[in-house]
Amino acid sequence: MKNTIRAALLLSVLASLGSQAQAIDPPRRDLLSFSVNASTEVTRDVISLAFSTTREGSDPNQVQAQLKAALDAALTEARKIAKPGQVDVQTGNFSLFPRYSIKGGINGWQGQAELLVEGKDTAAIAALSGRITSMSIARSGFLLSREAREKAERQVSGEAIQRFRAQAADYAKQFGYAGYVIGEVSVNTSEAVQAMPMMRAKTLAMAEESLPIESGRATVSVSVSGSVLMNLVNK
């Protein structure tokens, strides 16, 4: 009796596995996967400046007071041109740390303060660099605003999608099919990242000269990847 039950269970399992195997579709020979790309160059429209200064001395309170005075002076100038979206101003790193002698004891203090200015009004920000004399430019660079990036992505996405459809039709024709049906598709965007140029301690501010600027261009790319099912009958 037990052997009969075991045999019945075995046959049931084998039948189940057989039905599952039949349910698995074989790879489609008329399924084609590929990807296309489209890109455009856009002028970077946001300038970013980081002003910085360092102070050192034997008294930590004095060093901190000097840093605060330098930062306050820079903020006073920056706030004169501040405007949301056009010129954004914010304080950056403010640090104070001890210096140690060879024997291990503290022999002084050193600190750093930072001011960050970013916005689309490149002329005003460049001119500001010549009016801030209490801090120097630590780094500068140009960015692409969200609005400019999204506008470029919409344009390039349309081009990439049209290119994908045209490529699908061309591939189907070359393989001897009359048409195609789009399957799964993914759209991905990217922007070529370039390192922000670094600058040495600024001499322009001491001379009250504006910072010479050149925004450059950014490349916004869109890739469309996916699969199409090629048909013998055009739909």
**Mean pLDDT, rounded, of the chain:** 82
- CA 187 – CA 38 distance, rounded (Å): 11
- Please, are residues 31 and 78 in contact by the beta-carbon 8 Å criterion? no
In a domain, 234, yes or no: no
> pLDDT exceeding 90 applies to what percent of the chain?
59
- CA 148 – CA 67 distance, rounded (Å): 37
Quote the number of domains for the chain.
Answer: 1
Give me the CATH number covering residue 115.
3.30.70.360
- Please, are residues 181 and 235 in contact by the beta-carbon 8 Å criterion? yes
Residue ranges making up the domain that contains 137? 46-144
Coil, strand or helix at 208: coil
In a domain, 17, yes or no: no
In a domain, 99, yes or no: yes
- Quote the DSSP letter at residue 203: S
Beta strands in the chain (DSSP E): 31-43, 46-57, 88-100, 106-119, 136-143, 179-191, 217-231
Q: Kindly state the average pLDDT of the residues 16-20.
A: 53
In a domain, 225, yes or no: no
- CA 122 – CA 118 distance, rounded (Å): 9
In a domain, 182, yes or no: no
pLDDT of residue 216: 81
pLDDT of residue 39: 94
Q: Express each pLDDT in 106-151 by its tens digit.
A: 889 999 999 999 999 988 998 998 899 999 999 988 989 999 999 9
Nearest of 76, 114, 75, 74 to residue 96 by alpha carbon? 114
In a domain, 30, yes or no: no
Q: Kindly state the average pLDDT of the residues 162-166.
A: 95
In a domain, 139, yes or no: yes
Q: Kindly state the average pLDDT of the residues 102-107.
A: 86
Indicate the residue type of 199.
M
In a domain, 97, yes or no: yes
pLDDT of residue 48: 92
pLDDT of residue 56: 94
Q: Kindly state the average pLDDT of the residues 171-180.
A: 92
- Quote the DSSP letter at residue 44: -
